[in-house]
């Protein structure tokens, strides 16, 4: 009788250990689903190839009340933030003209760099 109880306990312990990864995965999926439902999702507005494995990607991130547009340089090795459009201008950024206007303002405000870059 004692041997049967011991084997039963060992069997339950092994079953619990086998079910643990599945349970953790389910909890992580549920948590990710709740966070996405809150409005933390992001969406890619545009992507332009500038080289074989180089892209400039415009991404909209943040909650619906505070959306921000990020301009990212993406390579096979890394991602760099090239520019951040504040929430006030991100509403109009979907058409692409807003980013062009922002870059024109930034270029006008930047001190002239040597070397005659166009």
Question: Do both 57 and 80 map to the same domain?
Answer: yes
Question: Do both 47 and 34 map to the same domain?
Answer: no
Q: pTM of the entire structure?
A: 0.46
Determine, yes or no, domain membership for 96: yes
Confidence of residue 90 (pLDDT cuts 50, 70, 90): very low
Determine, yes or no, domain membership for 114: no
Q: What percent of the chain has pLDDT over 70?
A: 72
Question: Do both 51 and 103 map to the same domain?
Answer: yes
Distance between CA atoms of residues 106 and 115, nearest Å: 18
CB-CB contact of 81 with 67 (8 Å): no
pLDDT tens digit sequence for 46-72: 888 888 999 999 888 877 777 888 899
**Is residue 2 scored above 50 in pLDDT?**
yes
Concatenated DSSP letters of 80-106 = EEEEEE-HHHHTTGGGSHHHHHHHHHH
CB-CB contact of 106 with 113 (8 Å): no
| Stretch 36-47: mean pLDDT | 71
Residue matched to tokens 């041997």: 3
Nearest 5 degrees, angle CA 89-CA 75-CA 80?
40
Question: Do both 5 and 50 map to the same domain?
Answer: no
Task: Tell me the average pLDDT of the chain.
Answer: 78
Residue 28's domain comprises 1-38
Determine, yes or no, domain membership for 117: no
């Amino acid at each position: 009788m004692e041997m049967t109880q011991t084997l039963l306990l060992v069997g339950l312990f092994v079953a619990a250990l086998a079910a643990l990864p599945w349970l953790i995965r389910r909890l992580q999926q549920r948590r990710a689903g709740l966070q996405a439902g809150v409005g933390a999702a992001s969406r890619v507005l545009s992507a332009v190839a500038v080289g074989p494995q180089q892209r400039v990607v415009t991404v909209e991130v943040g909650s619906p009340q505070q959306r921000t547009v990020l301009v990212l340089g993406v390579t096979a090795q890394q991602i760099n933030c090239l520019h951040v459009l504040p929430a006030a201008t991100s509403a109009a950024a979907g058409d692409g003209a807003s980013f062009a206007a922002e870059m024109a303002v930034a270029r006008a405000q930047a001190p002239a760099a040597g070397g005659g870059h166009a």
